[in-house]
Chain A
Amino acid sequence: MSEPKGHALALLSLTKKYGDFVAVADVTLDVGRGEFLTLLGPSGSGKTTILMAVAGFVAPTAGAILLDGRDITPLPPEKRDFGMVFQGYALFPHMTVAENVAFPLRVRRLPRAERDARVRAALDLVQLEAFADRLPRQLSGGQQQRVALARALVFDPALLLLDEPLSALDKKLRAELQEELKALHRRVGRTFVNVTHDQEEALSLSDRIAILNHGRLVQAGAPGALYERPRTRFVADFLGKSNFLEGTVWGPAPGGFALDVGGARLAVRLPDGESPPAEGARSLLSLRPEKVALLSGEESAENIAEGRILAFAYHGTGFALRVETAHLGEIRAILPAWKAPIAPAEGLAVRLGWAADAAVPVQEDAA
């Protein structure tokens, strides 16, 4: 791949208030050249407001938006030169596919020959050359989505903004288009800013994810880093599933610390450079269900909890278990079905085990 062609975007203390309601609170975020950044959060988290502010449809109450270091906050949307894929695509119903894609070039007064060539190239990019003369309503949802992408990319925009681009599609198509979108990002090498509430989509598409809640930026980072080392309870809970174990710090242990949870002592290993919390302090652990194993016979683990299966569900690829443990309360575990050591049954006594580095200390979110 060539060096990134995209532009860099920066949000500085971006704030948007509607009366007393704070939709976006003091968000500072950098988006690198050619990066695929996803704003992820539940509805009402302010992610769409941020995207609309970047696009120029929402004027921020405070803060600035910079493109390659230049302040673009006061510019109206049509002067920003950003491509945008709207929720529901917003294709012009009275124009053919080719006319839709030509629209941004037409309002930029490009000469006809160049316009035609660019439209053809853009339709080629999304493999819709054969549909140039159709009307949007004659296309499937997936095709409409690709027209919206071609229209947003045809004028070589500085940024591509995507507002829940896949939410209108059914699950299977969504997975297909996720791959296409990712491949497209690699081909065009531009900076993409995507908004979604779908955590799987965010994990699979993005170079980096910014997680928002109640208008605040909670944590930003690469998908793997966010998933493996969530900083707060909200991040651990929103991005994937998690067990939460709360207890008192017993004392330091080699490479980490020991935590007392309801009388049971758990070993927690920290990554290099992280210091353990003070003895006697309260600490909250996030433990991913897929990191909890079902121990068979004599098998051992750094942390072991005994209990009984409360309920289980079969998901094809795996079993999801809810286990009532003696000291830790209810623990959820996900086992690969093809190598589950036992056949789960309700009331069955089991031993759960996990490594000391499987659980991650997280902070309670500020209310």
Chain B
Amino acid sequence: MSGAGRPGAGWWLLLLPALVLVVVFYVAPIAQVLTISVTEPEPGLGNYERLFTSPAVQRVILTTLRICIITTAIALLLGYAIAYAITLASPRARGWWILAVLVPLWISVLVRAFAWVTLLRRQGLVNNTLLELGVIAEPLPLVWNEFGIIVGMVHYMVPFAVLPMLASMREIDPRLLAAARGLGASRGEVFRRVFLPLSMPGVIAAGVLVFIFSLGFYITPAILGGGKTLMVAEWIGLQILDLVRWGLGTMMATMLVVAILLTLAVFSRIVDLRRIFGAGG
């Protein structure tokens, strides 16, 4: 807002509680994490050196990036198809579609992760069905590996991919699509040359959202990875809770924050992030 005069001291007093809250609960802990990462076990950048020297640290980072990229890609593809179907649906059907997308969001992550374990384990529904049908001779390793993690994460992320894309698709003027056909474009070309480019802001927004969310994912990878495939969040927990290596854990936590800020910085140059995350422009 562009008020005429400068806000007086009274306004700052009103903001004070919020400011205190943010500092005490967000800024201070992050500052502390940062401090620990350069002071434990001894002052210096020793923990950060591990980024370049420790194969274990590098493997965790690469695994995390790989899983996040694959998850984001699949969630975007599925989410795009769903958002597209919702956009084209009749108003009545649209309500049901959106409900179907939102319902999983209200179910606990933990419940969903265990549900996937039940489905995917060696004697799970999927393997048993395939064995009985004779499609496979041996149970497939569907869980406690990267595959299981990706299945669980994609399932969790699809609604977060659908919503920004849906918002962006519903802003597209249907007359543009009619105009494109009237000008000689086939249905396929209308999609490729008009609909897809106009829905890109939503795709990018959904991608950023899902990717950032995935980076710090803890419960789903912990349960579906079975301790064998480690992602960053679980690895941090392991360092701090089990191995009591505070320095290393906080170093990785700092890197996670840096990665998220970096992603936001890069994409804020491409799309208007304030619009995506709901702060009115």
Q: Which residues of B contact A57 (CB under 8 A)?
A: 178, 181-182
Pair A107/B175 contact, Cβ less than 8 Å: no
Determine whether A78 belongs to the interface, using a CB cutoff of 8 Å to chain B: yes
Digit string of B91-110 for contact with A (CB within 8 Å is 1, else 0)? Answer: 00000000000000000000
Of A86-94, A126-134, A181-189, A355-363, which binds chain B? Answer: A86-94
Given A93-B198, A94-B198, residue A81 in contact with residue B179 (CB < 8 A) = no
CB distance from B165 to the nearest CB of A (A): 16
Quote the shortest CB–CB distance from B213 to chain A (angstroms). 28
B228 contacts the other chain (CB 8 A): no
The smallest beta-carbon distance between B171 and chain A, in angstroms, is 10
Given A92-B194, A93-B198, A94-B197 in contact, is the A107-B179 Cβ separation under 8 Å? no
- In the bound complex, how far is the Cα of B250 from the Cα of A2, in angstroms? 82
Mask of B166-208 contacts with A, CB within 8 angstroms, 1/0 = 0000000101101111111110010001100110000000000
Q: Do B183 and A84 have beta carbons less than 8 Å apart? A: yes
CB contacts (< 8 Å) of B178 on chain A: these are 57, 77, 86, 90
A-facing residues in B131-180 (Cβ within 8 Å): 173, 175-176, 178-180
The docked-state distance in angstroms from the alpha carbon of A119 to that of B183 is 14
Please list the 6 inter-chain residue pairs (A to B) with the smallest Cβ-Cβ separation, ordered nearest first: A90-B179, A104-B183, A107-B185, A84-B182, A90-B175, A77-B181
Cβ-defined contact, B184 with A104, below 8 A: yes
Other A-B contacts than A78-B185, A103-B185, A155-B183, 17 sampled, CB-CB below 8 A, are A55-B182, A56-B182, A77-B181, A78-B184, A83-B183, A84-B183, A86-B179, A90-B173, A92-B176, A92-B194, A93-B176, A94-B198, A103-B183, A104-B183, A107-B183, A107-B193, A155-B184
Find chain B residues with CB under 8 A from A238 CB.
Answer: none
Which residues of A are found within 8 Å of B197, using beta-carbon distances? Answer: 94
| A-B residue pairs in contact (CB < 8 Å), sample of 9 | A55-B182, A57-B181, A87-B175, A88-B175, A103-B180, A104-B184, A106-B193, A107-B186, A155-B184
Cα distance, A313 to B179, chains bound together (Å): 44
The answer for the CA separation of A57 and B186 in the assembled complex, in Å, is 13
Q: Name the residue on B nearest A56 (C-beta).
A: B182
A82 within 8 A of B: yes
Q: Which secondary structure dominates chain B's binding surface?
A: helix
Known: A84-B179, A86-B179, A88-B175. A78 touches B186 (CB 8 A): yes
Who on chain A is nearest to B197 by CB? A94
Residue of B at shortest CB range from A88?
B175
* In the bound complex, CA of A151 to CA of B194 (Å): 15
The smallest C-beta distance from B181 to any residue of chain A, in angstroms, reads: 5
- Find chain A residues with CB under 8 A from B180 CB: 92, 103, 107
Distance of A107 Cα from B185 Cα, bound (Å): 6
B183: chain A residues within 8 A (beta carbon):
78, 83-84, 103-104, 107, 151-152, 155
Bound complex: CA A16 to CA B193 (Å): 32
Q: How far is the CB of B204 from chain A (nearest CB, A)?
A: 14
Expressed in whole angstroms, the Cα–Cα distance for A64 and B187 within the complex equals 24
Q: Is there contact, CB below 8 Å, between B182 and A77?
A: yes
Question: What residues of A have a CB within 8 angstroms of the CB of B176 in the complex?
Answer: 90, 92-93
Q: Which residues of B contact A84 (CB under 8 A)?
A: 179, 182-183
A76 sits at the interface (CB 8 A): yes
Evaluate whether A108 and B173 lie within 8 angstroms (CB atoms) in the complex, with A86-B179, A90-B178, A94-B197 already known.
no
**In the assembled complex, how far is the CB of residue A101 from the closest CB belonging to chain B, in whole angstroms?**
10
Q: How far in angstroms is the closest Cβ of chain B from A299?
A: 57
> When the two chains form their complex, are residues A103 and B193 in contact, meaning their CB atoms are under 8 A apart?
yes
Of all chain A residues, the one with the shortest Cβ separation from B175 is A90
A residues near B185, Cβ cutoff 8 Å? 78, 103, 107
A155 to B183, CA, bound (A): 9
Q: How far is the CB of B203 from chain A (nearest CB, A)?
A: 13
A84, A107, A151, A152 pick with most chain B CB within 10 angstroms: A107
Q: What is the minimal beta-carbon distance from A155 to any residue of chain B, in angstroms?
A: 7
B181 in contact with A76 (CB, 8 Å): yes
A residues less than 8 Å from B186 (CB atoms): 78, 107
Which residues in window 36-87 of A have CB below 8 A to B?
55-57, 76-78, 81-84, 86-87
Q: How far is the CA of A84 from the CA of B193 in the complex (A)?
A: 18
CA distance A77 to B181 in the complex (A): 6
Q: How far is the CA of A192 from the CA of B211 in the complex (A)?
A: 52
For window 196-221 of chain A, which residues contact chain B by CB distance below 8 Å?
none
Asked whether B184 lies within 8 Å of A108 as measured between CB atoms, the reply is yes
Query: In the bound complex, how far is the Cα of B183 from the Cα of A104, in angstroms?
Result: 5
- The closest CB in chain A to the CB of B182 belongs to A84
- The 8 Å CB contact of A86, one of B175, B193, B198, is B175
Measured between beta carbons, the chain A residues less than 8 angstroms from B173 are 88, 90
Q: Give complex CA distance A37, B23 in Å.
A: 71
CB-CB under 8 A for A107 and B184, given A84-B179, A86-B178, A90-B178: yes
**Interchain CB contact under 8 A, B198 and A81:** no
CB distance from B91 to the nearest CB of A (A): 17
Q: Bound state CA distance, A107 and B191, in angstroms?
A: 12
Flag if A81 contacts B182 (CB, 8 Å): no
Complex CA gap A81/B185 in Å reads: 10
Q: Counting chain A CB atoms within 10 Å of each CB, which of B175, B184, B189, B194 scores highest? A: B184
